[in-house]
Amino acid sequence: MNMEARIRGIGMTSHRTRLRLIDRLRSSGIRDENVLQAMLDVPRHCFVDEALASRSYEDCALPIGEGQTISQPYVVALMSELVVNSGFLGAPVNKVLEIGTGSGYQAAVLAELVPEVYTLERIRSLSRKAIRAFGDLRIRNIKSRYADGFDGWSDQGPFDAIIVTAAMEEIPDTLLSQVRDGGVLIGPVGAQNIGQTLSVVRCFDEKPPQIRRVADVKFVPFLRGCG
């Protein structure tokens, strides 16, 4: 199958199958129409192995190799909704950093919604594959790097939002310091064995951060150093 046909999809990856996923996201409580449109437009099957393509519009996490997973579509939509609605006092959300590129799917969804997306991944093979997928899909507003996300991306910061797609036992101060005044860090916080809470941490220069807990989630661990 050529690239155009693969991206368009057939059968279990067709537009019709994707519409069913959007209905499901809507009934699960995703309300933002721009997010729903981005979830419809970004071909999730292009971010998983061809052998798993037929399952890519089920609302579940799937393996992407190296012991990692592409998040469940509902969680991607929920986190995207939190990002796009995170503007403080109506400020626009222009520049977002994702930690944990994985397949690249979450970054691709964000790239439909915000002008500038930066993403970091600690496993080289995953970082490479994601960059290839961005190229195949002609996504031009994502900058990717193979690096340890613990350090953030200081020369590009501060960011309006930082989204961490791996479970943090504690939120690194380095990341909080790269969130702009009034911006947010969004991600799962909690130990691996007990599950985590998707949290939104609003950061301020002059006062302590405010934490809002959104949902119980299960993510792969946030690990220090490159793999």
- Find the binder of ligand SAH among 134, 153, 159, 222 (CB under 6 A): 222
- Find the binder of ligand SAH among 80, 144, 165, 178 (CB under 6 A): 165
CA–CA separation, 45 and 49 (whole Å): 8
At its nearest, how many Å lie between ligand SAH and the CB of residue 70? 4
Active-site residue, 71 included: yes
For residue 8, the number of C-alpha atoms closer than 13 Å in the C-beta half-sphere is 6
At its nearest, how many Å lie between ligand SAH and the CB of residue 161? 14
- Find the binder of ligand SAH among 97, 99, 179, 189 (CB under 6 A): 99
Question: What tokens were used for 161?
Answer: 């939002």
Q: What residue number has its CB nearest to ligand SAH?
A: 102
Interhelix angle 33-41/15-27, nearest 10 degrees:
150
At its nearest, how many Å lie between ligand SAH and the CB of residue 94? 20
Answer yes or no: are the C-beta atoms of 120 and 106 closer than 8 Å.
no
Asked if 148 interacts with ligand SAH (CB under 6 A), we say yes
Cβ-based nearer residue to ligand SAH, 93 or 120? 120
Interhelix angle 33-41/73-84, nearest 10 degrees:
130
By CB under 6 A, which span of 14-22, 27-35, 94-102, 181-189 interacts with ligand SAH?
94-102
Tell me the DSSP string of 172-210.
-HHHHTTEEEEEEEEEEES-TTT-EEEEEEE--SSS--E
Torsions phi, psi for 4 (to 5 deg)? -60, -45
Question: What tokens were used for 202?
Answer: 């609003």
At its nearest, how many Å lie between ligand SAH and the CB of residue 146? 9
Cβ-based nearer residue to ligand SAH, 83 or 120? 120
List the catalytic residues: 71
The residue ranges that bind ligand SAH (CB under 6 A) are 68-71, 99-100, 102-103, 105-106, 120-123, 126, 148-150, 165-166, 220, 222-224
